[in-house]
Amino acid sequence: MRVVVTGGAGFLGSHLCDRLLADGHQVVAVDNLITGRTVNIAHNLDREGFTYLRRDVSEYLEIEGDVDFIMHFASPASPVDFERVPIQILKVGALGTHNALGLAKAKGAGFFLASTSEVYGDPLVNPQPESYWGNVNPIGIRGVYDEAKRFAEALTMAYHRKHGVDTRIVRIFNTYGPRMRPADGRVAPSFITKALRGEPLTIFGEGRQTRSFCYCEDLVEGIVRLMHSGEHDPVNIGNENEITILELARTVIRLCDSDSEVVFRPLPQDDPQLRRPDTTRAREILDWEAGISLEEGMKKTIAYFKTHGAES
Ligand code: NAD
Ligand code: UDP
């Protein structure tokens, strides 16, 4: 297949490009580098079957030649970016998704949306099944991301129902791994870079909020299985192992063999208190479940930051 990956120079997009190339597909990575880095795709730039286009997908998107699938991964995803680039986030979720769906329709291609557990907001049920409609503050700081992704899901289903586009929606839960930027702001790179430098880890609130961390390789396997399935309704992909942020801090400090302390800072607005995926559908439909433990995935990620830590 010839597959377009929007956000292809980002953390997840670049891992997806690697996997698609390894599976024998041609890949066109499209990225405007707002949060991505060409270093993530440098190893593929001269590779046959790989093309990189620097484009903003919120503008009209033109791709020459046949396209079989569009994997729409473009969007800033760190809470730090929700305040830094809120309008770009709303635009890429709305206009970018519209352009990518329009391209899929014009090319007769499949379309795959990278959605998020943030569609559940600060959830009132735990774990979160796909049938849960969520608890989102539309006008809060996180609303730009949550509502953009909720709109993107609605638009994807509309293109499927109205135009018959062959669509997929994955709801990704917190995923970490090599190629996250040290200054990304999300908790895994934030804790790892601080622990490696011996600086205090900043815990927002009391650190009792929970997340369930999935290693990127597990996630990409789930995504590829979903791409090849005929499933149009959203599917959660994530690791079901739920831990508190304080536990995460202690784990990172131990695995980095660091003597960093932890310091407490105010909890940001609407920070979800609990998050854990119900992955029953992924198991039933895709025969998928996360296999890489936090300890194993963190060791690989820490090794990456030890060698690439200086690259911003
Ligand atoms: P990332 O910031 O590393 O990657 C996003 C990429 O999209 C970057 O390369 C960025 O430059 C690019 N991009 C953003 N806006 C663009 C635009 N208008 N035009 C072209 N390119 C643009 O983040 P990530 O963690 O790799 O996230 C990838 C996707 O997965 C996002 O859609 C995100 O919402 C989704 N997601 C990620 C997680 C996670 O835990 N990593 C969780 C839920 C959802
Ligand atoms: N967090 C923290 N310290 C940091 C970064 C994040 O305590 O330096 C907390 C944050 O408040 C949230 C959790 O870690 O409760 C996960 O944050 P992240 O930014 O990774 O993503 P989120 O899951 O909130 O989208």
Give the model confidence (pLDDT) of 161-173 as tens digits.
999 999 999 999 9
For ligand 1, what atom is nearest to the CA of residue 216?
Answer: 41
Beta bridge partners of 168: 112
Q: What is the pLDDT of residues 7-53, one digit of tens each?
A: 999 999 999 999 999 999 999 999 999 999 999 999 999 999 999 99
Six token digits for residue 236: 């959660």
Of all protein residues, the one whose alpha carbon is nearest to atom 25 of ligand 2 is 79
Please say if the pLDDT value at position 253 is more than 90: yes
What values do phi and psi take at 121, rounded to 5? 60, -135
**pLDDT tens per residue across span 128-143:** 999 999 999 999 999 9
| Spatial distance between the Cα atoms of 201 and 190, rounded to a whole number of angstroms | 8
Matching CATH number, 2-179+214-240+274-292, of 3.30.450.40, 3.40.50.300, 3.40.50.720, 3.40.190.10: 3.40.50.720
pLDDT for 223 beyond 80: yes
Q: Which residues are catalytic?
A: 145
- Residues lining ligand 2, Cβ inside 6 A: 79, 174, 186-187, 190, 202-204, 209, 211, 245, 268, 271
- Over range 234-251, report the average pLDDT: 98
Q: Where are the domains of the chain?
A: 2-179+214-240+274-292
Q: Which amino acid is at 32?
A: N
Taking the centre of ligand 1 as the mean of its atom positions, its distance from the CA of residue 280, in whole angstroms, is 25
Pick the residue whose CA is nearest to atom 12 on ligand 2.
Answer: 271
Going from the Cα of 186 to the center of ligand 2, the distance in angstroms, rounded, reads 6
Q: Do 145 and 77 contact (CB within 8 A), yes or no?
A: yes
Query: Does ligand 1 have an atom closer than 6 angstroms to the CB of 147?
Result: no
pLDDT of residue 67: 98
For residue range 11-23, what is the model confidence (pLDDT) as tens digits?
999 999 999 999 9
d(CA 267, CA 269): 7
If you take atom 14 of ligand 2, which residue's CA is the nearest one?
A: 187
pLDDT > 70: percent of the chain: 99
Mean pLDDT estimate for the chain: 97
Residue 259 to residue 32: CA distance in whole angstroms: 38
Mean pLDDT of 229-234: 98
